[in-house]
Amino acid sequence: MVVPVSTAAAVDTVNTTRLEKAVTVNGILSHERVLQRIANQNGGTRASGTEGYRQSLRYVRSTLQAAGYSTVTQPFTFSSFTDNGTSVTQVSPTPGEYETAVLEYSGAGNVTGTVVPAKTIAIPPGNPGSTTSGCSASDFTPASTTQPQVALIQRGFCDFGTKVANAAAAGYDAALIFNEGQDGRTDVFQGTLGAPAAIPAAALSYADGSALVAAARAGAVTVNVTANVVTERKTTWNLIADSTMGDAGKTVVVGAHLDSVSEGPGINDNGSGTATILEIAVQMSKLKITPRQKLRFAFWGAEESGLLGSEYYVNSLNNDQLAQIYANLNFDMLGSPNYVRFVYDGDGSSGGPSGPAGSAQIEEIFANWFAGKGLATAPTDFDGRSDYGPFIAAGIPAGGLFSGAEGVKTEEEATIFGGTAGEAYDACYHQACDDITNLSTQALNELGDAAARATMTLALTKTGFFPDGSRMQARQQLDMSQFAYRGNHLVK
């Protein structure tokens, strides 16, 4: 569980004590309170495409401009998805309602039809992700042309969008995807189809899905799938703020997503990351810290729709501009009430994918700082859930911190980090209760100081990541399709 401390870190030591003392919990909370007020005045949300997001952006921009940063807003369009109510009920033979979750970019509709399981269903399931249910057109019996029918598909192997598209192509009027059934893959899940679908689509638990398979094989089962959803093209913005000093050929991008989900104000996710890097920027200016590398503070839009803002930014860079990006630091959820000090696993030592060359050294900056304070850390994989994704796909070294989302704290973690085993790191994740009361000030204190340490270290380092002091790195193109997430949404 504890990240080992390296004795041969390539990045030279920088004295960051002044900045760590200046970046306080009170300073971070001063920004969080403004974000909460903005949400309160705008229907309880700061989601991209809403007035709450626009006002959040204006506040962050004015704060940075007052601190002396040069700011640019970068507009882009995206598919905004709103769920106004999705339900799945059994009409016959036994009326009842299922616990369900809409799949992002589901089509809208109200369908009452007979359930038809896909041909490939694994009950009991095999290895996680191995079930190929719905992954090919041949897995569907052609739907009736006279009566509505609902495809029942098991999660696994390919992405949700492919499964639903195959069902629609086979003539089905709606699709239900139930969880695969292994440990950690049993409950109702939140996922994305990646793009707007032609038919309504929703998720079920493994227990409900497997029972529905058995019932449909035994006789006719009719369900109603209602998806009261809206998908529309909207404009949103990234906000980019540059230091006036520093080598533009070695630009350190320090990022956090500014948007919340539509369901809540997002004060932990990700007001905590936004407020922390905003306070770091303000205090660096007040302390007149002159960076050796240019610092670029980035506030991403539409992360909750699948990393769209950071992806748009990276894709907008030409080859010369891309080569100037020295590193990316990412801070997404730093104040979870039942927190763990997660550090992104740059060297892949915990079994997940390693980051591009230089990512291991970024991990060491965090690990060594926490170890020096007598604070344990745990590695977390580069799994595609946050805005480092487009950067590491382009070969840019990355790292950052994470205090935990909907995952459940283990007994071992509770022993090491405190808190409550068996409960979520953040029980209000993606909910209306992710408000100003949903923060651990201790987490903000510890992770905020570590974020300040890493930001200033990368801004002032002389030697860089490698022994010869160069910034050159092996550009490592990662296959992002290996990740099961796109942003905070499962894709398969």
Structure tokens at 79: 């598919």
401 has which bridge partners? Answer: 331, 343
Identify whether the C-beta of residue 184 lies closer than 8 Å to the C-beta of residue 129: no
Identify whether the C-beta of residue 363 lies closer than 8 Å to the C-beta of residue 378: no
71 has which bridge partners? Answer: 241
Element housing 276 (H / E): helix 271-286
Structure tokens at 55: 């006002």
Q: In degrees rounded to 5, what are phi and psi of residue 485?
A: -125, 150
Nearest to 327 by CA among 353, 289, 301, 365: 365
Q: CA 434 to CA 488: how far, in whole Å?
A: 15
Please report which residue ranges of 99-201 form alpha helices under DSSP H: 160-169
- DSSP-derived pairing of the beta strands 342-344 and 398-402: antiparallel
CB neighbours of residue 97 within 10 Å:
10
Nearest to 458 by CA among 332, 330, 319, 342: 330
Give the dihedral of Cα atoms 388, 394, 396, 400; nearest 10 deg: 10
Collapse the DSSP code of 30 into the 3-class scheme (helix H, G, I; strand E, B; otherwise coil) and give the result.
Answer: helix
Helices 271-286, 25-40: axis angle to 10 degrees equals 130
Distance of CA 415 to the CA centre of its chain: 27
Element housing 364 (H / E): helix 359-372
Structure tokens at 74: 């970068």
Compute CA distances 387 → 236, 294, 299, whole Å.
16, 20, 10
Annotation says 303 is catalytic:
yes
Which residue among the candidates 20, 180, 279, 303 is catalytic per the annotation?
Answer: 303
Structure tokens at 129: 């992700």
Element housing 365 (H / E): helix 359-372
Cis peptide before 124 (omega within 30 of 0): yes
CB neighbours of residue 366 within 10 Å:
26
Structure tokens at 380: 């977390």
Q: CA 129 to CA 477: how far, in whole Å?
A: 24
Q: CA 114 to CA 155: how far, in whole Å?
A: 20
Structure tokens at 108: 């809208």
Residue positions annotated with a catalytic role: 303
